[in-house]
Amino acid sequence: MKTFLEAGDPAWQRARDAERRANAARIPLAAVTLEAPIRNPGKVLAIGLNYADHVKESGMQPPKHQIWFNKQWNSICGPYDAFEIPSTAPNAVDYEGELCFVIGKRSRRVPAARAHEAIFGYCCGNDVSVRDWQLRTPQFTLGKSFDTHAPIGPWIVTADEIGDPHALGLRTFVNGELRQSSNTSQLIFDCFAQVHELSSAFTLDPGDVVFTGTPAGVGGAMKPPKFLHAGDRVRVEIDRIGAIENVAAAGRTETVLG
């Protein structure tokens, strides 16, 4: 997919032409296994405290500036794959349902008014977070980057099909219980402001994945906290995109070298 995006508009036109010719030979969705639409993004970037209700439940002040952290690309997993409850940090694993966008064009110093041109499309994401590791230092990267802790999918809905990305309902369920229910209209810094901010600092590349923030309802903010355990099922739904659904599984314990 990164190669496809890097090829630009000519590749996209060829894909559209192929799709029109293949109407009689479609493969049923039930006959395939969907993988992460971007399996090895160069960058996985995520913004913190970006819904007003989540700021309130976190007991913090609204941010004056965008708060960014990295998730390592190894955290990416498919829309229906299991994610791990890591053996090294099993006690505070949390969910964060989010809208994600995928960068489609190499982008640098993009004004907010043109930021929509940089976005290829949108998908659902779960910013799985190990809260004790996340909060034990001022930098979130380790607590946000455990293997399998960034399920995305189930596909990329292109920007032209989404239209306005800031009017999408978002819901997160844990074992069928509705935990998060909000709308992307509640973003403090919207998708286009995020592209502007990031591209002001460094180049965004085709295939980069951006997590745009999570609303209220995370397990760590509940009293008492409701963290995830092996066997729990997390479903993230977003209007006009679809849903991802991932089951927590006990993490591996063996050492891997090579």
With respect to residue 174, please indicate whether it lies within any of the assigned structural domains: yes
At 179-237, the pLDDT tens digits run 999 999 999 999 999 999 999 999 999 999 999 999 999 999 999 999 999 999 999 99
* pLDDT in the model for residue 22: 61
Q: At residue 136, does pLDDT exceed 90? A: yes
Within a domain: residue 21? no
- 26 falls within a domain: no
Burial (CB count <10 Å: 0-12, 13-18, 19+), residue 35: middle
**Which amino acid is located at 189 in the chain?**
F
Q: Which stretches of the chain are assigned E, i.e. beta strand?
A: 44-48, 67-70, 76-77, 83-85, 93-94, 97-103, 119-126, 129-130, 150-158, 169-174, 177-183, 209-211, 233-238, 242-250
Q: Which CATH number covers residue 145?
A: 3.90.850.10
Domain count, the chain: 1
- Residue 134: give the domain boundaries: 2-10+38-250
Residue 2: enclosing H or E segment and its boundaries?
Answer: helix 2-6
Residue 28 belongs to a domain: no
Percent share of the chain, pLDDT over 90: 88
Tens digits of residue pLDDT in 34-86: 999 999 999 999 999 999 989 888 888 899 999 999 999 999 999 999 999 99
Query: Does any domain span residue 25?
Result: no
pTM of the model: 0.96
Q: Is residue 20 part of a domain?
A: no
φ, ψ at 212 (rounded to 5°): -95, 5
So what's the pLDDT on residue 238?
A: 98
Please check whether residue 110 lies inside any domain of the structure.
Answer: yes
255 is a domain residue:
no
Q: Residue 18: what pLDDT?
A: 84
pLDDT of residue 58: 85
Paired residues of 145 in beta bridges: none
